[in-house]
Amino acid sequence: MNGKWFNFYKKQGKVAKQAHIGFPKDSYEREMGKEGFFGPVTHFYHKHKHTGWTDFQGDNRPRAFDTNLFGSSQATPWDAHVLLKNNQVKIRMWTLDSSMKKLVRNADGDDLLFFHQGTADLYSDFGHMVVKEGDYLMLPKGTMWRLETTNSCEILMIESSNGHYQLPDKGLLGPNAIVDAAVYRTPEINAAFQQQYSDDDWTVQVKRLQKISTINYPFNPLDAIGWQGDLMPVALNWRDISPVMSHRFHVPPSAHTTFLGNRFVVCTFVPRLFETNPESLKVPFYHNNDDYDEVLFYHSGNFFSRDNIHPGMITLHPTGFTHGPHPKAMKNAFTQNNVMTEEVAVMIDTRDPLEVCDAAEQVEWPEYVNSWQEQK
């Protein structure tokens, strides 16, 4: 049976003239909504910041992890550190210092690789393609592939377990908005691919239900001479994303959705102009995301809403508490010194709770929960 949301509007007391614009004097806005930023919503206006806690006990707390502290490299993605997971998504951090000696295939779901650092040549069933820093690389479930490195690579891996990656509906913005299909890159059966045909022995590692099976061949199975269809690996660099902006209104994170998984979304925050209306909020608003766990991977730039966060770190804000900008950022809530933001970050919002794995706990910054406290 299909339901529908309650759809009547009420208001009480002193409120803003509209969301994120023109707050009542000396108040702080807090957003509470359903289904992330996609459902019905209410905005509260408070006398105090609801991130102004003096103590926070329990497991359901904001957490931060520094992947720069991992010292070793891994020969295949299946050896990479699993940081966060649930039944729909697995988030890994993979360091690859040298070219892969084996082929791999994921039989559990599509893989999305974000190249935090490094350059590599992808060889797959579909051909050859160069991938570099700032690239997303989407590999459909069942693709056979390997990477030849030009230099050391740091790769954020997001597996859509038992699912697929699709594109968001851009609605009124039209087909060329945010990401124009013209900028997607796909593999080619080119000279580099043809040169790797061989009768040498090759091994394929197949991951299924988180277990590895091996298949040995007396030849290189990446030997396609052609293909046709509409299923293939796709690469996208963050520099080719045109973000949704409003000169008056701080748009929600959902407007920056780049990929849809099964019960999760992947969003990309890229540099954009700050809002110009003097009454408009110019930092992320305080909010309760009571249906989604929020993960942010910080890639590059100045993370204007965060303090003591640097590239290569990951934060987790689980459902159930108010979160938002750190105190230093709120001092610039309505006035910014720069014209544009400078940050590049990947956000993963999951509809189901995430488990923090042992590898993440080894590189955790335990004081992150206290970073919202005002400095005396």
Complete domains list, the chain, with CATH: 28-64+239-370 (2.60.120.10), 72-163+182-237 (2.60.120.10)
User: Given phi > 0 = left and psi -120 to 50 = alpha, else beta, which region is 301?
Assistant: left
Decide if 310 is catalytic: no
Q: Which of 250, 256, 317, 326 is catalytic?
A: 250
Binding-site sequence positions for homogentisate: 323
Q: Which of 59-73, 169-183, 219-233, 291-305 has the highest mean pLDDT?
A: 219-233
* Reported confidence tier of residue 195, pLDDT bands at 50, 70, 90: very high
The amino acid present at 33, given as its one-letter code, is G
Q: How confident is the model at residue 1 (pLDDT cuts 50, 70, 90)?
A: low
DSSP string, 330-359: HTTSS--SSSB---EEEEEEESSPPEEPHH
Residues 6+ apart with CB under 8 A from 149: 96, 97, 98, 99, 118, 119, 120
326-356 pLDDT, tens digit each: 877 777 777 777 888 889 999 999 999 999 9
Q: 166 is written with which tokens?
A: 């699709």
Binding site: which residues? 287, 293, 323
- Confidence band (pLDDT; 50, 70, 90) for 215? very high
The pLDDT of residue 328: 77
Q: Is the pLDDT of residue 261 over 70?
A: yes
